[in-house]
């Protein structure tokens, strides 16, 4: 259930920022920035805080190389599905939703990797214990 909630948070954050419907921050701000600038800035800062939390946790857990590796894996999966005729990339709306799913999966892996690593290796991380030992 925890992984699903992390994915839902990532997907909602990405979807609220931009999606192919008219219900997204980018489109709303484009049409309402003059009349509701203060609300647009406030909502933009809320989204920014969400992105900072997600990207910081993802970069800390899997790093930039890990993010690149996962994106490459997802891209190669899409390529295989396209080559076998299971995925058609001619529908722009579906492509945007597919991109949102891929990015939310990447962020979910980043948010969940610490829990997976802890289950596989145990609860103690040597890096954190060693750096705290000499600070006093």
Q: What is the DSSP code string of 78-132?
A: HHHHHHTTS-----HHHHHHHHHHHHHHHHHHHHHHHHHHHHHH-S--HHHHHHH
The domain total for the chain is: 1
Per-residue pLDDT of the chain (136 residues; tens, 9 = 90+): 789 999 999 999 999 999 999 999 999 999 998 999 999 999 999 999 999 999 999 999 999 999 999 999 999 999 999 999 999 989 999 999 999 999 999 999 988 988 888 888 877 655 555 555 555 4
Please report the pLDDT score of residue 54 as a whole number: 93
Could you count the other beta carbons within 10 Å of the beta carbon of residue 2? 9
Asked whether residue 116 is domain-assigned, the answer is: yes
Please report the pLDDT score of residue 121 as a whole number: 83
pTM of the model: 0.80
Please report the pLDDT score of residue 131 as a whole number: 56
Asked whether residue 70 is domain-assigned, the answer is: yes
Asked whether residue 111 is domain-assigned, the answer is: yes
Separation between Cα atoms, residue 10 and residue 32, nearest integer Å:
25
The Cα-based distances of 34 to 19, 28, 37, 98 in angstroms read 22, 11, 6, 32
Please report the pLDDT score of residue 93 as a whole number: 94
Of 46, 35, 37, 59, the closest CA to residue 107 belongs to 59
Given a contact cutoff of 8 angstroms between Cβ atoms, the answer to whether 93 and 20 are in contact is yes
Given a contact cutoff of 8 angstroms between Cβ atoms, the answer to whether 74 and 106 are in contact is yes
Asked whether residue 127 is domain-assigned, the answer is: no
Q: Which residue has the tokens 């049409």?
A: 31
Please report the pLDDT score of residue 125 as a whole number: 56
Range of the domain at 76: 2-120
Asked whether residue 132 is domain-assigned, the answer is: no
């Amino acid at each position: 259930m925890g992984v699903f909630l992390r994915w839902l948070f990532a997907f909602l954050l990405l979807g609220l920022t931009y999606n192919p419907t008219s219900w997204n921050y980018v489109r709303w701000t484009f049409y309402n920035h003059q009349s509701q600038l203060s609300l647009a800035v406030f909502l933009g800062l809320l989204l920014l805080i969400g992105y900072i939390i997600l990207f910081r946790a993802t970069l800390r857990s899997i790093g930039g190389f890990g993010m690149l590796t996962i994106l490459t894996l997802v891209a190669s999966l899409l390529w295989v599905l396209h080559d076998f005729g299971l995925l058609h990339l001619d529908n722009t709306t579906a492509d945007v939703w597919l991109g949102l799913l891929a990015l939310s999966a990447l962020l979910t892996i980043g948010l969940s990797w610490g829990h997976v690593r802890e289950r596989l290796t145990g609860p103690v991380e040597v890096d954190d214990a060693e750096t705290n030992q000499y600070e006093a």
